Structure 1
Amino acid sequence: MIDLNDVEKIRQIDTMNSLITTENYDVQFGESLDLGKNFEVANPGRKFHEIIILGTGGGSSVAGGLLRSYLFDELEIPVIVNQGYNVPAFADSDSLIFVVSHSGNTEETLAAYEQAIKKGAFMIAITSGGKLAEMCRNDGIPTLIVPYDIGHPRRDIGYIFIPMLVILSKLGLIQDKEEEIRGLIQLLSTLKKRYGAETPVEQNPAKQIAMDLYGYIPLVYGSLEYYDSVAWRIKNQFGENSKLMAFYNVIPCLHHDEAVGWDMPQELIKNFYLMMLRDDLLDSPKIKKRKDITLDILRTRMGKVREIFAEGENRLCRMFSLVYLGDFITLYAPIYRGVDPTPVDVINLFKKKMAQQ
């Protein structure tokens, strides 16, 4: 195993600097706020029935999920995250559609875009370029161009999430969020000192958890209404960053089905490492009780169980405090095994095979 106190070795393994990019989330989120504020979008003068986000993967679709969770009790219309080739039948001229493809070449999103155009929906694109930018220019669709980075949108979550939040405010669908966003930027600036590569294992919870879960299958339990998408994000990051199969579910939903699976044979369930996402402020008394009971039952069944608590002065901060910790954990986990966290060879293999005639 790699010594996670050996910063030079960590940097050598992380050949595409995903740790550095993550450490600089405060800068990225600040730039994202400016991009959103400088983006001009005319109010279409219509009442939207729903918001549909066309996007796939750990950046685009997860950003949509985080948006839905964060605005659960404020947005008066539903948010639908649409990850496939087709748009739902209810999409029409009263739909607000965000078309999100960081590369601009995601085939599912491009196919859905072509259908959405025919529906007459009000559309806004977020991309770094590619075919999507070209199609939007031809169709007159407002397009926010974001930095390309290296083409791995999971590490560019700020460039996707923050502009959508600002645009919704400009359209009058939510209150202005600049103060909360600036609070988040400040929190990220603080947390990167706690989780960054320079901070030794003894003072670094992200490194500690990454080492502790070695040899186990990660299982992330979030909760409604605000931590379902956070759990989804962390699960996805285990896949892309850590090269580990991982799973997630949501309380209270899992107590009506998955919980029965806790009676699986001991030699199987002991392979799981449960990360329970908790929030002493946002979790309702019922949710807190359900989490307590879940932990009480699973501590004697699963291999390991760990509680992870949110922090921050507002809901946005609290949600992203866990997203941020999850990002670092899932980067250190492969580095601990000597594996570069950034390449996604299997995804590239799928793309290659899909392109074959």
Structure 2
Amino acid sequence: MNSLNFRDLLLSIPSQAESGLKASQNIKLAKKPDQIVICGMGGSALAGEFLQAVFNEFKIKIPVYLHKDYDLPLTITKNSFMVCISYSGNTEETISAYKKALSQKLKILAMASGGKLKDLAIKNKTPFISIDLNSLPPRLSAFYMFSALVGVVVNSKILPMNVIRQLKDGVRNLRIKTIEDSANDIAAKIGGKTPLIYSSLKMDSLAYFLKISFNENAKIHAFSNFLPECQHNEIQGFADESLNLRFYSIFLKDSADSQKRINKRMDIMTQMINKRGFDFSIVDFDTFNLKNIFEKIIFTLFMGGFLSLKFADIKNQDPILTPLIDELKNALNK
């Protein structure tokens, strides 16, 4: 099992900010796009998930869409900016989207460590960012890809220049030991239960990252949803009190957030499920003194990493390998 190696890889994440920004320093858009479409699957799409959260925080009116499928979404315009990300460079859905965007003569940025996507980008003279991270798993490379994207949108004057300082400050202000201790405490409380992760819509990408960390690193089922939507359907699942031994809820809360109604909804929901015997933990960004969206993103990268690593240790699972994903890809290639 590679748990010690995984922890070392996790601790290398902060250095990805500088290298990602450097990789994108010469890339910018000549004019602002109608929309930014991130084409990617799994961990390769996380950069787009996080960029959505940043745009929401800064109230940027250019929409960021995630496209996790073949071809292109129907909402594409001639002035769309396509970002095709495939860590391996061989993700067939992303290559399909790239080829379609190329045929429509759209503005494209490609990002990969190699593979077919890199070859296509070089052949077609598409702006390209190389992911040079010594074979890190995509989910542990997300901060590099995200930082590179931030660099591009800052260079293009879509985000203000002070965003770079906030990104770097988020790395410097990180309290890794505190996060690890909190993650280990929550992991002990979860035990053998299935994690259910909840957040506001603004922080949905962070809840999603926790979910996929459990899936890929610990090899367990986990599910995420956001408020207020989950309170119009999923909350009813807590009516069956016999399930309280099967599920454990994690709430990502931001007490300092301006959406006071969301925090009130979260408080009421935790009271309701507690009354029905369901255990939960609240991870409050304000408690950890996280001041901006970048600090919240990198905090969540470590929280998800440490939480899932603890589970991988308990279950004697290798947190790096993803054998079922590899099996499926191999079957598709036959």
Letter matched to residue 217 of structure 2: N
SS in 1 for 2:281: strand
Q: Which of these residues, 52, 60, 65, is aligned with residue 68 of structure 1?
A: 52
Q: Secondary structure at the match of 2:173?
A: helix
2:169 counterpart residue number: 183
Cα pair distance change 1:162/1:302, threshold 3 Å: farther
Read off the aligned partner of 2:294 and give its amino acid letter: L
By how many angstroms is 1:272 displaced?
Answer: 0.6
Q: Deviation per CA, 1:270-293, whole angstroms, max 9, x where unpaired?
A: 311100001121252101100100
Give the alignment partner of residue 228 of structure 1, picking from 189, 204, 209.
204
Equivalent of residue 322 in structure 1, options 295, 300, 320 = 300
Change beyond 3 A, Cα 1:96–1:179? same
Q: Which residue of 1 aligns with 2:16?
A: 28
Contact 1:222 1:249 in 2 (8 A): yes
Please show how residues 1-357 of structure 1 align to structure 2 within 5 Å. 13-14=1-2, 17-37=5-25, 40-45=26-31, 47-57=32-42, 59-72=43-56, 73-176=58-161, 177-188=163-174, 191-195=175-179, 204-225=181-202, 227-263=203-239, 265-282=240-257, 284-301=259-276, 303-310=278-285, 311-356=289-334
- For residues 30-49 of structure 1, give each alpha carbon's deviation from its aligned partner in whole angstroms, at most 9, with x where no partner exists: 32233233xx125334x411
CA contact 1:102–1:151 (8 Å) conserved in 2: no
Matched-pair contact (CA < 8 Å) for 2:171–2:298: no
Unaligned runs of 5+ in 1: 1-12, 197-203
Q: Is the 8 A contact 2:28 2:153 kept in 1?
A: no
CA drift of 1:269 comes to 4.1
CA RMSD of aligned residues (A): 1.7
Secondary structure at the counterpart of residue 195 of structure 2: strand
Range moving further from structure 2, 292-301 or 13-22: 13-22
> What are the superposed Cα offsets for residues 243-296 of structure 1, whole Å, 9 maximum, x if unpaired?
110011000111112122222x32224311100001121252101100100100
Alignment check: 8 A CA contact 1:101 1:109 kept:
yes
CA contact (8 A) 1:272 1:302 kept: no
SS at match of 1:98: strand
CA contact (8 A) 2:21 2:150 kept: no
Q: Secondary structure at the match of 2:59?
A: coil
Q: In 1, are the aligned partners of 2:244 and 2:279 still within 8 Å (CA)?
A: no
User: In the TM superposition, what is the alpha-carbon distance from 1:88 to its structure 2 partner?
Assistant: 1.1
CA distance in 1, matches of 2:224, 2:29: 38
Note if contact 2:16-2:147 (Cα within 8 Å) is conserved in structure 1: no
Q: Secondary structure at the match of 1:17?
A: helix
**Relative to structure 1, is the Cα distance of residues 163 and 302 closer, same or farther in structure 2, using a 3 angstrom cutoff?**
farther
CA contact (8 A) 1:55 1:61 kept: yes
CA distance, structure 2, for counterparts of residue 52 and residue 26 of structure 1: 26
In the alignment, residue 314 of structure 1 is paired with which amino acid? Answer: N
Quote how far apart the aligned CAs of 1:149 are.
2.6
User: Aligned partners of 2:248 and 2:92: how far apart in 1?
Assistant: 35
The runs of at least 4 consecutive aligned structure 1 residues that moved more than 6 Å come to: none
Letter in 1 for 2:230: L
- Using the size of structure 1 for normalisation, the TM-score is 0.87
Secondary structure at 1:260 match in 2: helix
Shift of 1:195: 4.4
Q: Partner amino acid for 1:35?
A: A
The 3 A distance-change label for structure 1 pair 195 and 296 is closer
Contact map agreement 1:30 1:185 (CA 8 A) in 2: no
Secondary structure of residue in 2 paired with 1:80: strand
> 1:201 maps to what in 2?
none
Aligned sequence identity (%): 26
TM-score by length of 2: 0.93
User: Which consecutive unaligned segments of at least 5 residues does structure 2 have?
Assistant: none
SS in 2 for 1:299: helix
**CA 1:156 to 1:138, structure 2 compared with 1: closer, same or farther past 3 Å?**
same
Aligned mates of 2:28, 2:69 — CA distance in 1? 28
C-alpha separation between the residues in 2 aligned to 1:85 and 1:335? Answer: 36
Superposed CA deviations along residues 14-65 of structure 1, whole A, max 9, x for unmatched, are: 257121111222222232233233xx125334x41110000000x2212211
